[in-house]
Amino acid sequence: MQHPKIKIIGHPDNGYYPVNYEKLVLAAKEYHVLLELNNSSLNPLSSRLNSYENIKTMLKLCQKYQVDLIIDSDAHIADDVGNHKYVHELLDNLNFPEELIVNTSVDKFKKYIK
C-alpha cells in the first residue's frame, strides 16, 4: 500500500488468505488506498471462504475509522456487469454511510485516480 501507484486493494475478503482487518483498514486510511467490496464475493455461490463475515468485519472497521471503499460487480459473466445486489443488501443491513463509498460520484472517484 505504500507504493504511490497502488490505489485499490482487491478481494481483501477471501478467507483462504488470513488478514488482520484492523491493520488492513488502518493502513488503507494511512496510505489513502481504497478497499474493494465486490458483489461476486457476496454471492452465495462464491467459492471464497468466509467472505460474507470477512466483509462485514471490514465494513464495520471502515465505518469506525472512516475509511473509503469502492464497490463493483466483479462480474464473471456479461449479465452481471453492474450488478451490486448483494453489496447493497449488506450495506443497507449495516447502515453503511454512502459518503464512504467513492464510486457514488465521479468527483469522489477522481480524487483517487489522480
Domain contains 30: yes
pLDDT of 83 higher than 70: no
Domain contains 1: no
Please give the residue range of the domain that contains residue 26.
8-110
Domain contains 3: no
Domain contains 94: yes
Closest CA to 9 of 30, 42, 33: 33
Q: Considering its fold, how many domains does the chain have in total?
A: 1
| pLDDT tens for each residue of 12-31 | 998 888 999 999 999 999 99
- What is the arithmetic mean of pLDDT over 82-97? 87
pTM of the model: 0.89
pLDDT of 98 higher than 80: yes
Q: Are 34 and 9 in contact (CB under 8 A)?
A: yes
Give the position of cell 447493497.
88
Q: Are 39 and 86 in contact (CB under 8 A)?
A: yes
CATH of the domain at 81: 3.20.20.140
Domain contains 37: yes
